[in-house]
Chain A
Amino acid sequence: MSVSIAGIGMHPFGRTEGVSGMQQGVVAVRAALRDAGLTWDDVDFAAGGSEAAGNPDTMVSALGLTGIPFINVKNGCATGGSALTVAAAAIESGQAEVAVALGFDKHPRGAFNEDPARWGLPEWYGRTGMMLTTQFFAMKIQRYMHDYGISDAALAKVAVKAFENGALNENAWRRAPLTEAEVAGSRMINHPLTQYMYCSPGEGAVAVVLRRTSQGAASREVKLASVAFRTRRFGSFEVFSPHLAAERVDGPTVDAAAACFEAAGIDPADVDLAQVQDTESGAEIMHMAETGLCAHGDQEKLIADGSTRIDGSLPINTDGGCLANGEPVGASGLRQVYENVLQLRGDAGPRQVPGSPKVAFTHVYGAPGVSACTLLTV
């Protein structure tokens, strides 16, 4: 691709009383433009997503009524990936020189509640208490632990690392480190996952300014090497599925990651750090292998020996991930991109991955079985 990340901006994650999700989005866009040394007048195209905090395109009232195309996107937890896909495509196709991808959200406390009809499911699926994303993740990791010998201790260690990294991130929501015993001993939510192994719906906003890569770009300019988005195929194991086919195929995470690496001509072994969807501890473990960053079953050892920590050989979720940042659904995927840009620029401060990382990967997964991945390089 010939697309660079010109600027990044964020409204801190967590709970901000009195500030709407959309206002947080405006804060993020302005910060990203400032970072890029541009103004809203310079923007040719925008794509934005929010699950529950309003129509992103109405932000032009605050940003400026310049008449540009502004596409709203909505793909559950993968929304940030779709915003980036659309914005990058606008540049690649020649429609735009400068494009903004943004996401924001503001969710009430507690687990999401869903209307079965919106997902094409029978009413009884919700009434009888099976339409909960938390159950899906628990059942998927339960089976995965059985198949690949992952321990309960690994689940706890993933959360411990997330809060450790979150403590180093001034924009994170949960910044207090927890011990393995505290994580493992917290309230059981959906067996085998406890309270602190789950992320919580929250608030926050992120914006990314994309620009066509120029000849003679600055040496530390971060390039979007590829972005790939996939939906599920027949036979994959997805959230909100009253049945699963008798045959199993790889899920959209596997497909999106493979397409992303192929398009960039980069091997997963060359990745210096990665942000993967960690809706809960088990998701991080499964997504490490599904994205190709390690072999199935190797996570147990990689986690035990500290390889996925910031100073390890394969740093994962260096900003604390969803576990420490919470999940404002529309913003979450772009948070990962924001973190990788900081890391590749060498601007990640106390949580900087050592050794001048050059290749950084992101992955999001959402209902009803969609995934988006990116590769950033310097």
Chain B
Amino acid sequence: MQAVSVVGDDLRETSDGPRLVGGRCRACGAVAFPRPASCARCTGSDVDEHLLADRGSLWTFTVQNFLPKAPYDGWAEFTPYGVGYVELDGEVLVESRLLASSAAGLRIGAAVHLVVEEYGADASGTPLTTFAFAVDGAPA
């Protein structure tokens, strides 16, 4: 069954793999994700589309160990998942799910890369996907 991305236009499949679609302020250069209508730094209103780097390092992390309430619509059979901020050098830090079910493989500074993750399925069984970061070299 064809998976459905819940992230919409904020994630794009390119010939080089998935990329997050952020915005970059034409006036001051500040990068934001998702792409905002105006810049929170200088209040400029010209924010150009900017594909974020797909590699970075883990700035901080946690592991979600309990089933979140709605609107969470991940797997009904709950498996813990990582959440962290990934520092994309000189651009921005992005909050993301992490491919990890415990803190064991996670450490601040770890090199990570962007992937697409199936995190749940809708009522008809169609898989739902979102973006996530995985630690380089970790088993998938």
Interface with B: A20-28, A136-144, A214-222, A336-344, which one? Answer: A136-144
Which of A128, A140, A241, A246 has the most chain B CB atoms closer than 10 A to its own CB?
A: A128
- A243, B68: Cβ atoms under 8 Å? no
Known: A132-B68, A140-B60. A191 touches B103 (CB 8 A): yes
Within 8 A of A (CB), among B12-38: 22, 30-34
Residues of chain A within 8 A (CB-CB) of B74 are: 127-129
Residues of chain A within 8 A (CB-CB) of B30 are: 234, 245-246
Residue of B at shortest CB range from A194? B65
- B71, A123: Cβ atoms under 8 Å? yes
State the CA gap A245–B108 with chains docked (Å): 18
Interface with B: A66-74, A182-190, A283-291, A348-356, which one? Answer: A182-190
- B108, A142: Cβ atoms under 8 Å? yes
Residue of B at shortest CB range from A138? B62
B115 within 8 Å of A by Cβ?
Answer: no
State the CA gap A129–B32 with chains docked (Å): 20
- B64, A241: Cβ atoms under 8 Å? no
B108 touches which of A115, A146, A191 (Cβ 8 Å)? A146
A113 touches which of B70, B83, B108 (Cβ 8 Å)? B70
Interface size class of A (residues with CB under 8 A): 35 or more
State the CA gap A140–B60 with chains docked (Å): 7
Residue of A at shortest CB range from B30? A245
Residues of chain A within 8 A (CB-CB) of B31 are: 246
- A130, B34: Cβ atoms under 8 Å? no
Within 8 A of A (CB), among B86-112: 90-97, 103, 108
A307 within 8 Å of B by Cβ?
Answer: no
Residue of A at shortest CB range from B81? A129
Within 8 A of B (CB), among A152-207: 187-193
B3 within 8 Å of A by Cβ?
Answer: no
State the CA gap A358–B31 with chains docked (Å): 47
- B66, A111: Cβ atoms under 8 Å? yes
Interface size class of B (residues with CB under 8 A): 35 or more
- A116, B71: Cβ atoms under 8 Å? yes
- A124, B7: Cβ atoms under 8 Å? yes
- A128, B62: Cβ atoms under 8 Å? no
A265 within 8 Å of B by Cβ?
Answer: no
A231 within 8 Å of B by Cβ?
Answer: no
State the CA gap A190–B71 with chains docked (Å): 19
The distance from the CB of A339 to the nearest CB of chain B, in whole angstroms, is: 30
Residues of chain A within 8 A (CB-CB) of B128 are: 127
Q: What 6 A-B pairs come out closest when comparing CB atoms? A: A113-B69, A138-B62, A143-B60, A126-B71, A244-B93, A243-B33
**What residues of chain B have their CB less than 8 Å away from a CB belonging to chain A?**
6-8, 10, 22, 30-34, 40-41, 59-66, 68-74, 81, 83-85, 90-97, 103, 108, 119, 128, 130
List 24 contacting pairs A-B, 8 Å CB cutoff, sorted by A.
Answer: A111-B66, A115-B71, A123-B71, A124-B10, A128-B7, A128-B119, A130-B83, A130-B96, A130-B97, A131-B71, A135-B64, A138-B62, A139-B62, A143-B59, A188-B65, A191-B61, A191-B63, A243-B22, A243-B33, A243-B95, A244-B92, A246-B30, A246-B90, A246-B91
